[in-house]
Amino acid sequence: MVGTGRGAKLGILIKNGEVLEAANGIQTVVFDKTGTVTIGKPVVTDIIGEEIAVMALAAALEHSSEHPLGAAILEKADSLGVTVEEVTNFIAIPGKGVTARMAGKQVFIGNAKLLDTRLDAKLEHEMQRLQSDAKTVVIVGRENEAVGLIAIQDAPKKTSAVAVTALKRRGFHTVMITGDTERVARAVANHVGIDTVIAEVLPGDKADHVRSLQQSGKVAFVGDGINDAPALAAANLG
């Protein structure tokens, strides 16, 4: 009763006494990245390629998408005065991106897993440079040929490093699980001080990684109540 009352005063809702007891003995704290470690408000920072052409293609595809990065792309396209064209045969591929038909041609936006051929040397170099700056990079293309890149950044919350430092001072092992690339995830983790990164994880696989970590001790998972529901439920403490 004292614990739940004290928590409420601090703005922390504790479900019941069993949950509070479960917090005792936690050895590992696992974080989702987007909206948990980061602000959750991604913005377009760089466009590689012919700016208007790349954004027109991207906006047309993202207009039908529900991905968080899509809002950032549409906002940027609007600021550039880009006209959003209609697409057909829209298909979202989890963990990869989206494809559709536009003006009779197959168009796509997503990560490297969506592209059947390798990027040319220039675009590959640009992608690595941007990812090293903790920016998520999506490839925009037509007929399986990349026409440009869009870099999107979701900055870490100012409080994230403080929270991680406090946890580590108390002896907790910290982990971040994300669907983003290893390079971007590592840059964010380094910024806030998180020990271990598990990257390029599909949303449905986060719970499996939590169970794997539980083999070494009790695990707490910190994440979004909608996207991370299975992982939150699988952890000893959500």
Provide the annotated active-site residues.
32
The first and second tokens of residue 174, run together, are: 């910290």
CA angle at residue 184 from 192 to 113, to 5 degrees?
Answer: 150
CA angle 47, 53, 59 (to 5 degrees): 80
For residue 195, the cross-strand partners are: none
CA atoms within 13 A on the CB side of 67: 27
Give exposure, 182-193, as e/b (b: 16+ Cβ within 10 Å). Answer: ebbbbbbbebbe
Element (H, E) at 152: strand 145-153
**Beta strands at 88-93 and 97-102: parallel, antiparallel or unpaired:** antiparallel
